[in-house]
């Protein structure tokens, strides 16, 4: 209510005022530092979520006669692909199919020549499937929907043409979307692209073509500072690796829990599992909630359970879950 002794909250001040401009610039600088973003990339702070980018990417990077490559590994890549089909020709570079329980091997990716870009989803949030490698398209810029994996592990940004992510997992509150785009890909938007959706216009105006989501941007800045203080992305990656390893080991060593994902494709962020008897699901969720372990139900399209281990989840939270799961197993075998 009295941000920086100004007598107002950060939500009440003008986004064009000096104080907020400082917040905005600092958040960008911190993100650049955390991800080692090269100088020839713009960082855009947008609205509309990752779902808006499903359309804005083809609107900004293709013409109606373009072909684009999509790797289909589950729900979110499917959604991205369906949207792209409304704008240009989509070539499926690989379809993991069969329940989407694994990531295709690099050798299975059939990228086309002359594609405007190649798109993939490094982490499928619902299926709990994650790439352990960065695909290499044939000369086309690589586009990644990093909504549920950004800042969870180190990535070489220079390998990407464009990275986008809804903020609400590892960055901050919903309402903010980050786009990291290589400069040579800016300025190609279709003529009928609304100005507020044109990367060139957005970049030229420092993401302030119109009023940005100021509070979400401010909160994201606080998260970036926290991440820097806690050792940066490398330390987060190590924590995430350990959390996921412990939980998968507990699942694999149990008689009643099962994770359906191929071991080399298991997500560090979203650990899915089923119970041997689906009729136990409800009591598992109720007892877990009573133990303070909430939101463990799988996404409505997938069922089962899902433990999301985003950066903000401490190891102690995972250990508490494992302990609860063991106790539940003792009474349900």
Query: Nearer to ligand PLP by C-beta: 79 or 332?
Result: 79
Verify binding: residue 148, ligand PLP, rule CB under 6 A: yes
H helices present in the chain, as ranges: 18-35, 49-61, 75-84, 199-204, 214-229, 232-252, 281-290, 315-331
Distance set, CA 97 to CA 71, 100, 103, 304, 306 (Å)? 11, 5, 10, 19, 20
Could you give the string, one character per residue 153-182, with x where binding to ligand PLP holds by CB under 6 A and - elsewhere? -------------x----------------
Query: Nearer to ligand PLP by C-beta: 13 or 165?
Result: 165
User: Closest Cα partner for 65 from 190, 213, 164?
Assistant: 190
Rounded Cα gap, residues 77 and 57, in angstroms: 13
Instruction: Tell me the backbone φ, ψ of residue 195, rounded to 5 degrees.
Output: -55, -40
Contact 84, 120 (CB under 8 A): no
Q: Which residue in the set 145, 198, 200, 237 belongs to the binding site for ligand PLP (CB under 6 A)?
A: 145
Contact 265, 101 (CB under 8 A): yes
User: Closest Cα partner for 151 from 133, 170, 165?
Assistant: 170
Verify binding: residue 127, ligand PLP, rule CB under 6 A: no
Q: Tokens 């390998």 sit at which residue?
A: 159
Q: Which residue in the set 15, 33, 51, 154 belongs to the binding site for ligand PLP (CB under 6 A)?
A: 51
Verify binding: residue 121, ligand PLP, rule CB under 6 A: yes
Smallest separation, CB 314 to ligand PLP (Å): 21
**Is-catalytic flag, 217?**
no
Verify binding: residue 76, ligand PLP, rule CB under 6 A: yes
DSSP state of 195: G
Smallest separation, CB 164 to ligand PLP (Å): 9
**Is-catalytic flag, 226?**
no
Pick the catalytic residue from 30, 42, 69, 145. 145
Verify binding: residue 213, ligand PLP, rule CB under 6 A: no
**Segment near ligand PLP (CB under 6 A), from 44-52, 217-225, 229-237, 321-329?**
44-52
Conformation bin of residue 33: beta by default, left when phi > 0, alpha when psi is -120 to 50: alpha
Pick the catalytic residue from 30, 42, 69, 169. 169
3-class DSSP state for residue 196?
helix
**Segment near ligand PLP (CB under 6 A), from 14-22, 46-54, 232-240, 241-249?**
46-54
Query: Nearer to ligand PLP by C-beta: 87 or 324?
Result: 87
DSSP state of 316: H
Verify binding: residue 272, ligand PLP, rule CB under 6 A: no
The residue count for binding ligand PLP (CB under 6 A) is 10
Pick the catalytic residue from 76, 198, 217, 243. 76
**Is-catalytic flag, 145?**
yes
Instruction: Tell me the backbone φ, ψ of residue 66, rounded to 5 degrees.
Output: -70, 155
Verify binding: residue 50, ligand PLP, rule CB under 6 A: yes
Q: Which residues, 6+ apart, have CB-to-CB distance to 319 below 8 Å?
A: 246
3-class DSSP state for residue 102?
coil
Query: Nearer to ligand PLP by C-beta: 125 or 272?
Result: 125
Contact 163, 144 (CB under 8 A): yes
Query: Nearer to ligand PLP by C-beta: 3 or 215?
Result: 215
Rounded Cα gap, residues 154 and 240, in angstroms: 11
Query: Nearer to ligand PLP by C-beta: 49 or 213?
Result: 49
Residues with a known catalytic role: 76, 145, 169
Which residues lie near ligand PLP (CB under 6 A)? 49-51, 76, 121, 125, 145, 147-148, 166
């Amino acid at each position: 209510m009295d941000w920086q002794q100004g007598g107002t909250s950060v939500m009440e001040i003008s986004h064009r005022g000096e104080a907020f401009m400082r917040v905005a610039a600092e958040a960008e600088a911190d993100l650049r530092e955390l991800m080692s973003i090269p100088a020839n990339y713009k960082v855009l702070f947008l609205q509309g979520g990752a779902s808006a980018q499903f359309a804005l990417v083809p609107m900004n990077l293709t013409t109606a006669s373009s072909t684009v490559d999509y790797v289909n590994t589950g729900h979110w890549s499917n959604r991205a692909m369906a949207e792209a089909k409304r704008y240009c020709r989509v070539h499926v570079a690989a379809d993991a199919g069969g329940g989407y329980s694994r990531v295709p091997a690099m050798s299975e990716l059939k990228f086309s020549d002359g594609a405007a870009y190649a798109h993939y989803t490094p982490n499928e949030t619902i299926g709990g499937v994650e790439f352990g490698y960065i695909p290499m398209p044939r000369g086309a810029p690589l586009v990644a929907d990093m909504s549920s994996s950004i800042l969870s592990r180190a990535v070489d940004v220079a390998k990407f043409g464009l990275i986008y992510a809804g903020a609400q997992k590892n960055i901050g509150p919903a309402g903010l979307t980050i786009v990291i785009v290589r400069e040579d890909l800016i300025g190609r938007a279709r003529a009928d692209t609304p100005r507020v959706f044109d990367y060139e216009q957005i970049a030229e105006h420092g993401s302030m073509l119109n009023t940005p989501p100021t509070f979400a941007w401010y909160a994201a800045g606080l998260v970036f500072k926290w991440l820097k203080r806690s050792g940066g992305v490398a330390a987060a990656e190590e924590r995430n690796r350990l959390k996921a390893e412990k939980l998968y080991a507990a699942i694999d060593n149990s008689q009643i829990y099962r994770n359906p994902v191929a071991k080399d494709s298991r997500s560090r962020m979203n650990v899915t599992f089923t119970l041997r008897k689906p009729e136990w699901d409800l009591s598992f969720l109720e007892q877990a909630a009573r133990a303070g372990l909430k939101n463990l139900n799988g996404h409505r399209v997938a069922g089962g359970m899902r433990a999301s281990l985003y950066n903000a989840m401490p190891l102690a939270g995972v250990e508490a879950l494992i302990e609860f799961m063991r106790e539940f197993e003792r009474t349900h075998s």
